[in-house]
Amino acid sequence: MPQVAREAMQRRAQSAHVAERRTAWSRCAPSGCCHAQTTQCILLRLRPTAGEIAQGCRLHTSGICSFNQRLAAHDCLLRSAGRNAPAHLLPEMAKVSTPATKDYWTCIVSGGWYTGTDFEVAGIIPTTPTSFTRSYNGTPFSVYATNVKGVGMALGGYIYASGTQYGPIDFPKLGRQWHNTGSPVNNGGQLIASLVKIGNITPGTVSGPVAQAFSWNWATKIASPVGHLDLSAGVINFDMTPVSITVLTCQTPDVDIDMGTQTPLDFPGLGTPSNKVKSFQLAFNNCPAGTADTIDKSNLSGLIHSVTYRIDPISPDRLVSGYSNVVALDTGTAQAGGVGLQLYDANGAVVPLGTSIALGGFDGTKLGSYSVPMKARYFRTGSITPGTANATMQVTVLYQ
């Protein structure tokens, strides 16, 4: 008597080349997370160069470098978004910024000299921005890649000269904003940063130097006007303390289906399914919730708008030729012959293999679990021979 022992359909965890995962949002601890802080503050004596008009800037302290500027952590999280969302959709964490400081430096200037605050990228931030921008109060801020693939940083801010605010200004233009407003001049600034999604994200930690501030001088009372960074006035460094970027998905456990014992009498004929049907469910558990943009409430790019799944045989050659959506049995000894496996939805329709199917009822704003009721049964493809009848398929999940 032909015997079909069992069919196992395993839903394999997605590997690197088939995995489609969603961007996690990682909230930092309340104490000093996700902020850039001064790690170095160099105070050097002013040494005017011979032949120049006497001028100079010093860090605004009481003779001792006690500067401790930092990016304050307001709502430090990388917005949730589907890993497969288009890169131009830039979910954003709440902006973080340094305090609006009007007196990084106090500068003594004379006719023909201009001074200002210069911000420059540093450390983990490359000098050339990406093609993406992020709008802040109507001004597009350039987005730079970070040390974590798929995570960028929008940078911009304000410049202060003798109490007057200029900006917001894009970061490439923040540098060398110079003003001649009489002497002494207090120069300051405010750095604004935001993490954004610029592509498929690889888990990692955003950490390290991101920017530096310098005193900038510009001389016009000489034959060839020139500008330079006044390194003798001190360098202000801004570091991003570690922000862990993880990648989460819905939990998708493996599914084993016990098909029981079947006989040739269970198959009406060649090219027909068995009259014995086994029900099972695909589970999508603990799917993380996303949120809308915290700055632009109309921007919903931080939400996962849809989850789709696709069922395939473990390799294309496991499809049975001449039959629609029938998967061949696994290879091996003592395998049954003349049968394959076919899947059906809750309404009894054949599940199309290799086709994306929407996860019904998904709500990207809520943490939730979902299940998809399905059925499996054997399909006769030839002369039946006894043996075990295991078949394996895989499910790929796409988050957008």
Cα angle 144-149-155, degrees, rounded to a multiple of 5: 20
Return d(Cα 11, Cα 329) in angstroms, integer.
16
Q: What is the pLDDT of residues 130-166, one digit of tens each?
A: 999 888 888 999 999 999 888 899 999 998 888 889 8
**In this model, does residue 1 exceed pLDDT 60?**
no
pLDDT level of residue 50 (50, 70, 90 thresholds): very low
Q: What is the pLDDT of residue 57?
A: 58
How far is it between the farthest Cα atoms of the chain? 107
- H-run or E-run covering 208: strand 204-219
What rounded mean pLDDT belongs to the chain?
72
Rounded CA separation 273/253 (Å): 27
Q: Could you report how far apart the first and last alpha carbons of the chain are, in Å?
A: 50
Residue of 152, 143, 19 lying closest to 78 (CA atoms): 152
Residues 241, 37: contact at Cβ < 8 Å? yes
Question: Residue 393 pLDDT more than 90?
Answer: yes
Cα–Cα dist 292/297, whole Å:
6
Interatomic CA distance for residues 23 and 78, integer angstroms: 8
Q: What is the DSSP string of 132-175?
A: -EEEETTEEEEEEE-SSTTEEEEEEEEEEETTEEEEEEEHHHHT
Could you read off the pLDDT of 257-266 as tens digits, one per residue? 999 999 999 9
Sequence-distant (≥ 6) Cβ neighbours of residue 8 within 8 angstroms: 256, 257, 390, 391, 392
The tokens for 199 are: 């592509």
**pLDDT on residue 31:** 26
Tokens of 397: 């999940």
The pTM (predicted TM-score) of the whole model is 0.58
Alpha-helical (H) ranges within the chain are 171-174
Residue 60, pLDDT score: 46
For residue 323, give the 3-state DSSP assignment.
coil
Band of the pLDDT at 394, cuts 50, 70, 90? very high
Neighbour count for residue 108 (Cβ, 10 Å): 15
pLDDT of residue 47 exceeding 70: no
State percent of the chain over pLDDT 90: 30
Whole-number Å distance between alpha carbons of 385 and 242:
61
pLDDT at 310 over 70: yes
Q: Is the pLDDT of residue 311 over 90?
A: yes
Q: Which bin fits 174, alpha (ψ -120 to 50), beta or left (φ > 0)? A: alpha
* pLDDT at residue 93 greater than cutoff 60: no
Helix (H, G, I), strand (E, B) or coil at 37: strand
DSSP state of 265: G
317-325 long-range Cβ contacts below 8 angstroms, 24+ apart: 318/391, 319/353, 320/379, 320/381, 322/381, 323/271, 323/379, 323/381, 324/350, 325/350, 325/351, 325/352, 325/353
The helix/strand/coil state of 237 is: strand
Range in 52-61, 204-213, 380-389 with the lowest mean pLDDT? 52-61
Does pLDDT of 35 surpass 50? no
